[in-house]
Amino acid sequence: MTKINVKVDGVSYADEVEPRTLLVHYLREQLGKVGTVVGCDTSNCGACTVDLDGRSVKSCTVLAVQADGGEVTTIEGLAGPDGELDPVQQAFHENHALQCGFCTPGMIMAVRDLLRENPNPSEDEIREGIEGNLCRCTGYQNIVRAAQAAAGVKS
């Protein structure tokens, strides 16, 4: 077992983990952050996307020990203390950018990362920015509209 110290959604944790434990499993199984979804275990779908030290990562490709000393934000850490949604969450809600909802947490995290890097992306840049996240239900159009709305771009 290896001791790690990590801040997740603003709360500090000191835990022991097996060195081979993936960050997604640590978040879900030890911390109960089940909004971070296990989609494929191969890094293809992006459903497990979280922020690690301000960068979007697929948590199925990161070991929990690699997050030691770091700060993780999950989908559950986005809403304000009063339940007010993050602007990207709100845009997804208002633009019906989900159907089954399975990909939604990872998609929201990917869009947030895209907008940090490019606050005014074109439709093509949005599509390129989310290309590592798969959605099997929506056809992506409403996801693109939600990203445009969150960026303040007219659709």
Give start and end residues of each alpha helix (H) in the chain: 23-25, 87-94, 104-117, 123-129, 141-151
pLDDT tens by residue, 12-30:
999 999 999 999 999 999 9
Q: How confident is residue 149, by pLDDT bands cut at 50, 70 and 90?
A: very high
User: CB count, 10 Å around CB of 16?
Assistant: 10
71 contacts: CB under 8 Å, gap ≥ 6 = 6, 7, 8, 52, 53, 54
Name the more confident of 10 and 136.
10
Task: Give the bridge partners for 12, in sequence order.
Answer: 7
Structure tokens at 62: 């990161």
pLDDT tens by residue, 113-146:
999 999 999 999 999 999 989 888 878 999 999 9
Using a pLDDT cut of 90, give the percent of the chain over it: 81
Q: How confident is residue 99, by pLDDT bands cut at 50, 70 and 90?
A: confident
Using only C-alpha atoms, the chain has a radius of gyration, in whole angstroms, of 15
Q: What is the mean pLDDT of the chain?
A: 93
Q: Is the pLDDT of residue 155 over 80?
A: no
Going along the chain from its start, the domains and CATH numbers come out as 2-77 (3.10.20.30), 87-151 (1.10.150.120)
- pLDDT of 152: 85
